[in-house]
Structure 1
Amino acid sequence: MGEERDRRDQILEAAFEEFSAKGFRGATIKSIAEAAGLQSPALIYWYFPDKEALFREVLGSRIPVLRAVRDPARLLERPPEEVLPLIARRYLSTFDNPAAQRMARLLVGEAMRRPEIAEIFGNAVIKRMLGFLKSYMAHQVELGRLRPHDVRSSARAFIGMLLPQVGGKVFFPAIREDGLTDEEHLRNVVGIFLEGLRPERKQGWTP
């Protein structure tokens, strides 16, 4: 069992390097098998049915924010002052890895040219992140911690407030010239975000 797990991890490690260097289209099962030191590419199919499944698993295992939301039930009851910084921190830390930065650059280019790659990445990453945030926001509204609102918009807005910081790491270094750190930014974002969604106070005299 341990050997099986080691072999699977070995394949994922090699696949991450290949996808980050060549993109989804450029990486092949053959090149991934060679990078993993496998005697035959067919061994990869013992663990993953196809390249798309392998790619989805690489994303799920290598993107910290997706690991954080794998078990959403444990987060739903926790207050937004705890959960939103956690999500933001994991999201931003994804792009500290140079290989992840390379993969992001390649995938953006591929997704713009090839709708099928945009769909794979969208379902594997964006849909899962937004899905968690929508469920979480809706539950926090039920608990009275956030005011009633359209959670589709709040989920998009929260991720959108983090994108410039990601852009500074991956595409536009000029954004980071002002020295704003990830921790400073996520603190500010969470503060602004929660202030806008604070439950409305009831009108009337307070005894």
Structure 2
Amino acid sequence: MECSIKEDWLAEEVDRRGQILDAAFEEFSTKGFKGATIKSIAGAAGLQSPALIYWYFPDKEALFDAVLHTHAPLRTTVDDPASMMDRPPEEVLPEIARAYFATVNNPVSQRMMKLLVGEAMRRPGLADMLGRATAAKVLGFLKQYLSRQVELGRLRPHDVRSGARAFVGMLIPQAAGKIVFPALREDDLTDEEHLKTAIGIFLEGLRPKD
């Protein structure tokens, strides 16, 4: 009986946290980071008191970070770096690229990104938070991963800081065509076509010399 009560309580906690995250995502994607308040998020989540949100998240920044994590496959992909470090780049880099495209292909995520990018340009503090929440984590993973591949002899020695930026930079134009520059899509280049060619060029430039 006691075990059943505990399981029911845990299930209720998970459901409520999920409700808060769903409501926060809608609020952030509609109103932006500044416009979405703890009070408005609590109302959208059907909570009796905004204070209940602080039971799950210490502040709005932590809630925002959790929303990004939940709705960004790319963040989830790099959350367990240890399991990927020894896998070959021919496997790992396409996974990263596909997770990146999966994020920008979601229409609701596109709406949120457009709004937040616009806000970030006007508010340096938000830009810094967004950078730490996503860009820094992804680049940090890539730097670690490329360093490990150099150690394993699969890639030649190079400045992995630049290597990580170069890899992400090769993906950005494909994503930009879906978010801010529709003209870039006029050539009908698919995500798979782009990542296959881009990753091939990237790896060819870093192959160890015989």
- Cα distance between partner residues in 1 of 2:30 and 2:171: 25
What TM-score, normalized by structure 2, do the two folds share? 0.94
**Any gaps of 5 or more consecutive residues in structure 2?**
1-9
SS at 1:39's partner residue? coil
Q: Choose from 86, 89, 97 the match for 1:80.
A: 89
Mapped partners of 2:154, 2:102: distance in 1? 27
Which residue in the other structure is 2:133 paired with?
124
Amino acid at match of 1:110: E
1:62 corresponding residue in structure 2: 71
From 173, 187, 199, the equivalent of 1:190 is: 199
TM-score when scaled to structure 1?
0.96
After superposition, residues 110-189 of structure 1 pair within 5 angstroms as 110-189=119-198
- Which residue is 2:12 aligned to? 3
Provide the C-alpha distance between the structure 2 equivalents of 1:189 and 1:43, rounded to a whole number of angstroms.
46
TM-align CA RMSD: 0.7
- Taking the aligned partners of 1:128 and 1:48, their CA distance within structure 2 comes to 20
Which deviates more, 144-153 or 100-109? 100-109
C-alpha distance after superposition, 1:93-124 (max 9, x if no partner):
10111111011111111111111101110000
**Distance in structure 2 (CA, Å) of the matches to 1:11 and 1:177:** 39
Q: Find the counterpart in structure 1 of residue 36 from structure 2.
A: 27
**Aligned 8 A contact 1:20 1:103 in 2:** yes
Q: Which runs of 5+ in 1 are unaligned?
A: 202-207
What percentage of residue pairs aligned between the two structures are identical?
69
CA–CA distance in structure 1, aligned partners of residues 173 and 206 of structure 2: 22
Contact residue 21 and residue 99 of structure 1 kept, 8 A:
no
Aligned length: 201
Equivalent of 2:117, from 86, 103, 108? 108
- Residue-by-residue CA offset, 1:29-52 (whole Å, 9 max, x unaligned): 111111111111111111001101
CA distance in 1 between partners of 2:116 and 2:165 (Å): 20
- Tell me the amino acid that sits aligned with residue 33 of structure 2: F
Whole-angstrom distance in 2 between the partners of 1:96 and 1:18: 20
The counterpart of 1:39, out of the listed 29, 48, 57, is 48
